[in-house]
Each structure stands twice: as structure tokens, then as C-alpha cells.
């Protein structure tokens, strides 16, 4: 049979992961410990009635797939796991990790099946992975499937984050399977059937901190060295051949990339929700969109994860600290091979330094200011969290609205606050004392604008390019899910389109930029989510 131009069969599958690294010798697909291997070969589960709901035209182009191919039944069958294209070599990878600060042992791809790695026409390597395509040897007590609600959230968020400029894995497609999947959403014994779905995730690499932790925990130093060598050659080729010095340089780059990623999370108000070490990518990409959420009213102690509701380890304000702790676990795994602690500590110190520099720069730009080491500038930035908590404030709308502030300091309090009215959940409840604190801060900001020498036009353009108008608000995602579960995918497509251009005001799309409505304040899916998917 001839291959269709621009189809999966015409892509070049390189599959270096399975070609170069040791495989699990057991071929049966049942849950087990898998020592001495980095992956197990496994095929996706064949489903009854796959239907393509959405796809990313961007990712189609990156891979070299024809846009029209998405409408083919073959594309849907492959994206559901029912068919393998020529060159695919499916597998689930083996890794371990720390979950909520505790060592969890072997974890692995419990509901993710990698289809293989391609080299596109530019020579870039891209790995394709189906999430929710059935059980693997790492599924533990779970079934390996995913449901529509979590798959919608993963698909939308992967693409939304990319267009926001946040380092992330991508999503190629969203397919429903026609299967009914039993789920206990909040682990309270209330099991119900939900529609099944599969997302195809795409990234240059899906290698996680936990891959290295796993090998170090097994005391398998030869395999740890082999995998580090593999990682350097294919993910960090610019660093050169493996040596203790190269490993230190590599870890430093991982620290820097992680710092930049987390700074971007903080910039847009994103909360990952489950920052376990097995959910941290060595490329500094956001991975595993589970119980994530966006800050509505600014609260540094907010976490979207019901499992984390008591300790709030993964709350918004703690994400930079958790990332550092996770990097420490990776450092310990690498030091098991090198025997050198000082270079690892230096890299960890570099993380803290680089995160602070990135965050200071990003926050300055959000405020329409050039970054400065001036003490007054730094003190002003440090006061931003307090300002956002004076009254219940929508973070996204507040920063976006600042660009509309008249650059005139002798306005009345009412005139100064007028552009920010939509950012407050109860503007009528703001007291005289609160209003004075807010307007005092605004006048200081206007004064800093005047000192900067930047034209008003340039400043507004800068601010609007870094303060999004549209983000994947929790209640919007839930509305999409509610409609999709009833067979209505119009809002899914509409919101996907809006989120591809989050910094530009789009005609007729104002409802996607509104703050959280009262009905969503405590509703499941809008305020808190579980890991169940």
C-alpha cells in the first residue's frame, strides 16, 4: 500500500530511545518491578469508536503532517492507539520519584505509551506519546486509561501554555474512545462511568528527573552512566562527551531551564498542582497537566490539588522552593555516579540566583518597567504580593489593566482606580484605607514610569505583550468539559482558538477574559481538582 503524502507513514521514525537503551526482557503486559531497564515494550489498547475532537495545526506542521490528513480516518485510528504507523516502536518508560516529598519507588509511564521518536525535515527530534491508551507494566493499581475531562484539560493547557510563551510539552490531538471508564473523582467511594479519551503529547524528550533517581536508587551506576551519556548526546549535544565536568555543566543547565520555567509559571499565575520529581522534565518543560489551575483571586497559598489541600506543598507561592528541592533530589542521583558534591551545590545555587533574576525581570516588564538593581526598584517589586492581597484581586485582569492607567500622578483616587475596577471581585467593598494603599502604590508606579524614559506607547506595547488577556481559567475549562460530555464541542474549538493568541484583544471574545463568576468559587473542577483522570 502506498503511503499518503504528509501522513504518519511518511515520517522518519528514528526511535533512538528503544534502539540504544536496555529493554525490559519480559514481554507480557502486567504490573511488575522492572529493574535494569529503561522501558518496556507495550502496545496501545484498541478502542471501540474513536472520534477526533480537536488537533493542533501548529504541531501538525512541526511534525511534517499535512493539515488535511487530520480529517482522515487513519489519523484518528493512530491517535486513538488502534493502528501503528510504519516505523513506530511503542513502549512505556521506567522511572521512579518523590511524590509530595516522599520517596515513592518505581512509578513509570502508567497511562502513557510512547509511539516513537521522529526526525522532522529540519532534523529536530520529536517524541510522540499517547496518554490514556491503556495499561502498562507501570500502571500499578490503575487501568491506564484517561477520561474526557482530564484529557480536555491536558490538550487545552499544553497549547495554551505554549502560546503564552511558557516552556511546555505540546499536544497534537484529542480523541474520544467510545469506552466508558469508571472513576472515583474525589476518592470518596462515589464511582461513576465517564467517557474515555486519549491525548497525543509531543516533546523533544519526555525524560524526567525520576529516570535518573530510579537508576541511582537501584545502585545501577553502569546504566545510570549509560543513560546520562544518551541524554547528553541527544538532548544536550552542545555540551560534549560525558565526564564529571560535562555532567556538572549539564546539571547547571537543567537548573537554569527549570528556573526559567517556574518563573514563567509565576508570571502567568499558573499552579502545576503536582510537582513530584517524576513530573519534572530535564528539558525544563512543563509536563503532566493533571490537577493544575490558574490563580483567579491572587492567593500565594492556593493549590488546585485536593490531595494537597491540607499541607499545600505545591501551592503557587511555594513552586520556586519545590523546584529547588526537586533539583536537589536529581543532584543526589547524579552525585551517586560522579562522587562530587560541590559542583552540584554550585548548580543549585545557580538555580536560586537565576530564578530570582528571571522573576525580577519578568515582574518588572509586567509592570512596564526596565529591570534595575536599584534598591528602591527592588523594594517596590517586593511589595507587589501584598498589594494584590489588599482586596480580592484577579491577577490576570489586574496586570493587564495596568497598561490602561493614565500616566498622570495627580489624578484623584477614583480616577486612578477606574481602569482597575474589573480586577476586583468586590470593588464596592474596598475601604478608604485600602483604597489609599492601592492608589499610593499606583502613584509610585507612575513615578517610576516617568523616570524610565520609555515612551507611553512603547510601555503599553511592552506590558500588553507580557500580560495575557486570556488564560485557561479553571471555570472556562470546566464549562468546556460540561459541554463536551454532552457531545457539544463548539466551546472546545472556540476556546482553543482564543488561547492561540492570548495577548491580543479578540473581537467578540470578551467572555473568555472575565474573572471567575461566583458560582465557580467552590465548584469541583473550578476551584479544586483531584489527580483522578
Q: What is the pLDDT of residues 387-403, one digit of tens each?
A: 999 999 999 999 999 99
330 and 395 co-located in one domain: no
175 and 60 co-located in one domain: yes
Residue ending a domain, among 453, 478, 501, is: 453
197 and 277 co-located in one domain: no
63 and 136 co-located in one domain: yes
249 and 286 co-located in one domain: yes
Residue 78 placed within a domain = yes
Give the residues across from 341 on adjacent strands. Answer: none
**Which whole-number Å values give the CA distances from 456 to 122, 362, 409, 449, 502, in the listed order?**
41, 19, 14, 8, 22
Residue ending a domain, among 180, 209, 238, is: 209
CA pair distance 510, 518, nearest whole angstrom: 18
CA pair distance 131, 154, nearest whole angstrom: 10
Stretches in the chain below the pLDDT threshold 70: 1-2, 186, 531-533
353 and 255 co-located in one domain: yes
Which range of residues forms the domain containing residue 358?
224-294+308-365
360 and 408 co-located in one domain: no
236 and 119 co-located in one domain: no
Q: Are 76 and 175 in contact (CB under 8 A)?
A: yes
Catalytic residues: 278
Q: Are 394 and 458 in contact (CB under 8 A)?
A: no
Reading the block at residue 485, the C-alpha cell is 460530555
The pLDDT of residue 374 is: 82
The pLDDT of residue 62 is: 97
CA pair distance 104, 97, nearest whole angstrom: 6
CA pair distance 217, 220, nearest whole angstrom: 8
Question: In b/e form, how buried is each residue of 406-436, taking b as 16+ CB within 10 angstroms?
Answer: eeeeebeeeebbebbeebbbeeeebeeeebe
Residue 379 placed within a domain = yes
Give the residues across from 102 on adjacent strands. Answer: 99
Residue 440 placed within a domain = yes
22 and 97 co-located in one domain: yes
Vertex 434, ends 432 and 435: CA angle to 5°? 65
Taking alpha carbons only, the member of 116, 279, 272, 292 closest to residue 200 is 116
Question: In b/e form, how buried is each residue of 305-339, taking b as 16+ CB within 10 angstroms?
Answer: bbbbeeeebbbbebbbebbbebbbbbbebbbbbbe
Our count of domains for the chain comes to 3
H-run or E-run covering 182: strand 170-183
44 and 105 co-located in one domain: yes
Q: Helix axis angle, 209-217 relative to 221-235, nearest 10°?
A: 160
DSSP type of residue 411: S
Q: pTM of the prediction?
A: 0.97
Residue 521 placed within a domain = no
Residue 515 placed within a domain = no
Reading the block at residue 493, the C-alpha cell is 474549538
- Give alpha helix (H) positions in 40-179: 57-63, 73-80, 148-164
264 and 377 co-located in one domain: no
CA pair distance 85, 11, nearest whole angstrom: 9
- Expressed in angstroms, the distance from the first to the final Cα of the chain is 38
358 and 377 co-located in one domain: no
Residue ending a domain, among 432, 453, 474, is: 453
Q: Are 146 and 199 in contact (CB under 8 A)?
A: yes
Q: Cell 486519549 appears where?
A: 198
For 219, other C-beta atoms within 10 Å of its C-beta total 8
Residues 6+ apart with CB under 8 A from 330: 209, 212, 213, 251, 254, 277, 280, 282
Q: Are 301 and 316 in contact (CB under 8 A)?
A: yes
Amino acid at each position: 500500500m502506498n503511503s499518503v503524502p504528509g501522513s504518519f507513514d511518511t515520517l522518519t521514525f528514528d526511535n533512538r530511545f528503544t534502539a540504544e537503551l536496555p529493554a525490559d526482557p519480559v514481554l507480557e503486559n502486567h504490573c511488575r518491578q522492572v529493574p535494569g531497564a529503561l522501558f518496556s515494550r507495550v502496545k496501545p489498547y484498541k478502542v471501540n469508536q474513536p472520534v477526533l475532537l480537536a488537533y493542533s495545526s501548529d504541531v501538525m506542521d512541526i511534525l511534517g503532517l499535512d493539515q488535511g490528513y487530520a480529517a482522515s480516518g487513519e489519523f484518528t485510528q493512530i491517535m486513538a492507539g488502534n493502528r501503528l504507523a510504519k516505523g513506530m516502536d511503542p513502549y512505556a518508560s521506567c522511572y521512579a520519584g518523590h511524590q509530595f516529598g516522599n520517596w515513592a519507588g518505581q512509578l513509570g509511564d502508567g497511562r502513557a505509551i510512547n509511539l516513537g521518536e521522529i526526525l522532522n525535515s529540519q532534523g529536530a527530534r520529536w517524541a510522540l506519546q499517547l496518554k490514556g491508551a491503556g495499561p502498562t507494566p507501570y500502571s500499578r493499581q490503575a487501568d491506564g486509561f484517561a477520561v474526557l475531562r482530564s484529557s480536555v484539560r491536558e490538550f487545552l493547557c499544553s497549547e495554551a501554555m505554549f502560546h503564552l510563551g511558557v516552556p511546555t510539552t505540546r499536544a497534537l490531538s484529542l480523541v474520544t474512545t467510545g469506552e466508558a471508564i469508571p472513576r472515583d473523582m474525589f476518592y470518596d467511594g462515589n464511582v461513576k462511568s465517564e467517557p474515555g479519551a486519549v491525548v497525543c503529547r509531543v516533546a523533544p524528550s519526555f525524560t524526567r528527573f525520576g529516570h535518573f533517581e530510579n537508576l541511582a536508587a537501584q545502585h545501577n551506576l553502569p546504566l545510570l552512566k549509560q543513560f546520562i551519556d544518551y541524554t547528553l548526546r541527544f538532548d544536550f549535544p552542545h555540551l560534549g562527551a560525558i565526564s564529571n565536568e560535562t555532567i556538572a555543566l549539564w546539571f547547571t543547565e537543567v537548573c537554569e531551564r527549570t528556573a526559567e520555567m517556574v518563573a514563567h509559571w509565576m508570571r502567568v499565575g499558573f499552579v502545576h498542582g503536582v510537582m513530584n520529581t517524576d513530573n519534572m522534565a530535564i528539558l525544563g518543560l512543563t509536563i503532566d497537566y493533571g490537577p493544575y489551575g490558574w490563580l483567579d483571586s491572587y492567593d500565594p497559598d492556593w493549590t488546585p490539588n485536593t490531595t494537597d489541600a491540607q499541607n499545600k506543598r505545591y501551592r503557587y507561592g511555594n513552586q520556586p522552593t519545590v523546584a529547588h528541592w526537586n533539583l536537589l533530589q536529581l543532584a543526589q542521583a547524579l552525585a551517586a555516579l560522579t562522587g562530587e558534591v560541590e559542583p552540584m551545590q554550585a548548580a543549585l545555587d545557580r538555580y536560586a540566583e537565576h530564578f530570582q533574576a528571571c522573576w525580577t525581570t519578568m515582574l518588572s516588564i509586567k509592570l512596564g518597567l526596565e529591570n534595575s538593581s536599584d534598591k528602591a526598584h527592588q523594594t517596590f517589586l517586593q511589595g507587589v504580593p501584598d498589594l494584590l492581597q489588599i482586596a480580592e484581586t484577579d491577577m490576570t485582569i489586574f496586570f493587564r489593566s495596568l497598561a490602561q492607567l493614565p500616566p498622570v500622578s495627580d489624578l484623584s483616587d477614583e480616577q486612578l482606580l477606574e481602569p482597575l475596577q474589573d480586577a476586583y471581585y468586590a470593588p464596592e467593598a474596598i475601604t478608604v484605607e485600602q483604597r489609599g494603599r492601592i492608589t499610593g502604590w499606583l502613584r509610585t508606579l507612575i513615578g517610576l514610569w516617568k523616570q524610565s524614559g520609555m515612551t507611553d506607547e512603547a510601555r503599553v506595547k511592552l506590558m500588553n505583550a507580557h500580560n495575557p488577556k486570556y488564560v485557561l481559567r479553571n471555570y472556562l475549562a470546566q464549562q468546556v468539559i460540561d459541554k463536551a460530555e454532552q457531545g457539544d464541542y463548539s466551546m472546545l474549538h472556540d476556546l482553543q482558538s482564543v488561547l492561540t493568541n492570548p495577548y491580543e484583544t479578540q473581537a467578540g471574545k470578551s467572555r473568555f477574559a472575565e474573572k471567575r463568576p461566583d458560582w465557580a468559587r467552590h465548584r469541583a473542577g473550578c476551584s479544586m481538582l483531584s489527580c483522578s483522570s
